[in-house]
Structure 1
């Protein structure tokens, strides 16, 4: 479980390492361009019910902390989904990674059809 620290509050926001790695790419891309935006997510089952939203601005301190030593392999599709939502009026909506389960069996089957 990774952690996102935003601003001076010191309140940790727990986010799965893989999710946080993808979110980091989207956030850093937007902030590098000097763009402000929001990030929203539903609370985890073990947290109080509800959802949260952060307003991200390049002048506010931000730190990403990962539990895993090695960075995960990133999904271009997931990053593109996050970037599309970052460019919308609603800001980034942190959603689970979309995994195309139909594609894997087809690829495996094609390997053995030769």
Structure 2
């Protein structure tokens, strides 16, 4: 399990594979100087709940992976996450679609 760290006070634990896909989406948006919200839910082991942070080019962001090898990237998952990041609700960690599929992010109800 890796960690996504914002400034030095806010962090969340995310599976390395999911974190690698989030990294691609976040860095692509930041490279284009685009700011966006990122929201996630906490697992029951951390008391449930959810958080949202504002991600902007001028704010520190740290991707910390626990594994030494980068995971295989599913382009369909990157597309789903990018579609999510481009909505008014911002980026959410959505489930991975099957490789080779061409899904689009569904509007969030929450």
Identify unmatched segments of 5+ residues in structure 1. 101-114
Q: Could you tell me the TM-score, scaled by structure 2's length?
A: 0.85
Cα offsets for 1:51-93 (capped at 9, x unmatched): 1111101111111010110000000000000000111111011
- What is the aligned partner in structure 1 of residue 14 from structure 2? 15
**Structure 1 or 2: larger helix share?**
1
Please name the residue that 1:109 is paired with. none
Counterpart Cα distance in 2 of 1:54 and 1:69:
27
C-alpha displacement at 1:44, in angstroms? Answer: 1.2
Q: If you compute each CA radius of gyration, which structure gives the higher value, 1 or 2?
A: 1
TM-score when normalising by structure 1: 0.82
Moved over 2 A (4+): none
> Partner residue of 2:79?
80
Q: 1:38 to 1:49 in 2, by over 3 A?
A: same
Pairs aligned (count): 99
**Which SS does the other structure have where 1:46 is aligned?**
helix
